[in-house]
Amino acid sequence: MGVTYDEKERIFKLDTPNTSYILGVVDEEGFLGHIYYGKKLKNSNVSYLLRTQEPPFVPSKNNRERCSFYDRFPFEYPTGGVGDYRESAISIRTQKGHVASQLLYKDYEIMDGKPALEGLPATFGDKDSCTTLKVICEDSIVGMQVELFYTAFSDADVITRSVRVTNTGKEAFYLTKVFSASFDMDNEEYDMLSLHGSWARERHMQRKPLGYGIQNVSSFRGESSHQDHPFLALLGKHTTQETGDVYAMNFVYSGNFRAQAEVSQFDSVRMSMGIHPENFCWKLEPQESFQAPEVVCVYSDKGLDGMTTAFHHLYKKHLIRGEYKDKKRPILINNWEATYFDFDTGKLLSIAKEASKLGIEMLVMDDGWFGKRNSDNCALGDWFVNEEKLPGGLSYLVDEVNKLGMKFGIWMEPEMISPDSELYRAHPDWAIAVPGRTATESRQQYVLDLSRKEVIDYVYERISAILKSANIEYVKWDMNRQLTDIGSYDLPADRQGELYHRYVLAVYALQDRMMKEFPKLLLENCSGGGARFDPGMLYYSPQIWCSDDADAIERLEIQEGTALIYPLSTMGAHVSDCPNHTVGRVTPFETRGIVALAGTFGYELDVTKISKEDRDKIPEQVAMYHKYNDLVRQGDYYRLASYSQNHKFDCWEVVSEDKTEALVTFVQVMNRANFKSRRLLLKGLDADKYYKIEGEATVYSGDTLMHAGILLQNMWGDFQAKLLHFVEA
């Protein structure tokens, strides 16, 4: 495993436990081509896949058809303007207005471990877990050096890629596009899988045939977004959950992105991902560099299960960091759906007192505790405690909650500013805006211009002061609107195109600074629910609020799409009130608890007002969480059935690493009359072990459970759920 270089053939080969990624250099000019990505190969002698011995041949043999060569060759990192008419991975504009560029191979370096990306989140690993290849390419006419970074992991079937661009010339040029990964391969009649949605219905799976031309998913809302997710996969036509080829990319970035596949006239596919070029323009002065974010690439020949396992293993071991990386999270109760803005110290303590008796471990105070914030139309930016609501301030409230044996958490929205706020009246130029244009409000708020140092310093000083004022052990960091009116009062005209990216870098810097000063803090990111659920955020927070829609049935599709890529431990999931505040559905309290068990687990309701029958079930759910959370958090996840596909029931499984136990969750959405039992095939067990369902006497072999399965009887009623805990017999 690792990285090898065949100097004679000029071929680089990267190996993971079960896959190989191969690229090579051809012709005397040094064209860098993508050769192979797939099942692991013993050697690298597959350069014939570049088809350089076929017309139009390489330019040294047939220079009269150089343009035809450019338009056919499977480039590893393609440029534009010289004859390749497919989508380029990088675009520039020189001082003379020229846009053509061409990158040719110059050198390489193989490194143990993985270098960090300055100012950006990225996967990490030491010399025992990964090896990194740096390929150096150059455009000597422009004066541009591009370093392509590839890391192969020894404990996950993943290749990560990133790009650093340096101006080696004597005058500035402008980067107008810089993708982080691109490669070409033959078209095998793929399907394209993406995750789409909207507020309260994020990350629903969409699969459709890949046709000629460009097909993409993207966001230029300033965040990865509710609407489209920074993920794309190409699936073989007959690929299933368990079998077939999958090529997938996921972007470790929380801003604008584009993920796309292009089928060319010659039946090649170009798959690429990176920062969205819409309104992006980065000025590079001589000797300055631009670091593009990281893309995680996965190949699986075991269908979506194999892809999911690769992403989960990587993110659990090599992306999530900090105090709670491998730690059980406290069961929390959030007061938002319980009180909205109508609360005071007495109300919060009444919730905490009742919750503490039931085994709930943390009280989280949501929006409305600061400034004159009694509705969502004012006071963002005024991060000072409203002592009319909270006499004695945070210290008194937190001390009283701690006396109950509970931790305390707090909600903040640090990136925003309300027009009706003391901060805006003092600093109207601190909001992102185009001078002279009527600003677009969303939720009656604007976005702070975090490209400005004084704004970042103010925001961080307020965060730090609040966290130092009391024993606050959790922060829910929210962002409730997208970016519009892209303009900064501080940036010069030729750098206005940098604002989107500078904004994201500032968010990362703020969260990184906070976690370094408060390393034991549990941070949960949120953006109107799940609009910023991406790998970039997971680098700073081990969990993200999955969706503002906490209805148990709506959550089935949301959590299925999320768990397709991300570990269950990352998904913020709560038992919410009924009728549900988003869709008005009434579901059994038991079902709400079982669905929330597939995430971080907590409560979003007024525990003092729910029925005694439901309240009495909370200690049982608390015990359920403590019994199963280590397995849910650390085990391997498998999808057994999909409600999004069958529209009747949902089922997933988590298997312990040593394969001694498994937890199967079954949700019957709609009951049916006169219907036979369902046969359920388990996955991931040891075929030679014997298992039984906890509390039952029947013993099954692992191969029986996986190939013959078990029978599940219909349950009485709709929206029913049950857990099956298999233990080694």
Contact 719, 680 (CB under 8 A): no
Other beta carbons within 10 angstroms of residue 461's beta carbon come to: 11
Q: Exposed e or buried b for every residue in 505-525, given b needs 16+ CB within 10 A?
A: bbbbebbeebbeebeebbbbb
Structure tokens at 38: 């797939």
Q: CA torsion 323→327→332→334, rounded to 10°? A: 50
For the four alpha carbons of 172, 177, 179 and 183, in that order, the dihedral sign comes to negative
For the four alpha carbons of 275, 277, 278 and 279, in that order, the dihedral sign comes to positive
Number of H helices, E strands in the chain: 15, 39
For the four alpha carbons of 413, 419, 423 and 428, in that order, the dihedral sign comes to positive
Other beta carbons within 10 angstroms of residue 61's beta carbon come to: 13
**Residue 372 to residue 422: CA distance in whole angstroms:** 10
Active-site residues: which are they? 478, 548
Residue 280 phi, psi (nearest 5): -105, 125
Query: Among 248, 246, 247, which Cα is nearest to 238's?
Result: 246
Helical spans, DSSP H, in 496-586: 499-517, 535-538, 554-563
Structure tokens at 314: 């990587």
Query: Among 565, 513, 514, which Cα is nearest to 544's?
Result: 565
Output the DSSP codes for 186-224. Answer: E----EEEEEE--TTS--EEEEEE--SEEEEEEE-SSSS
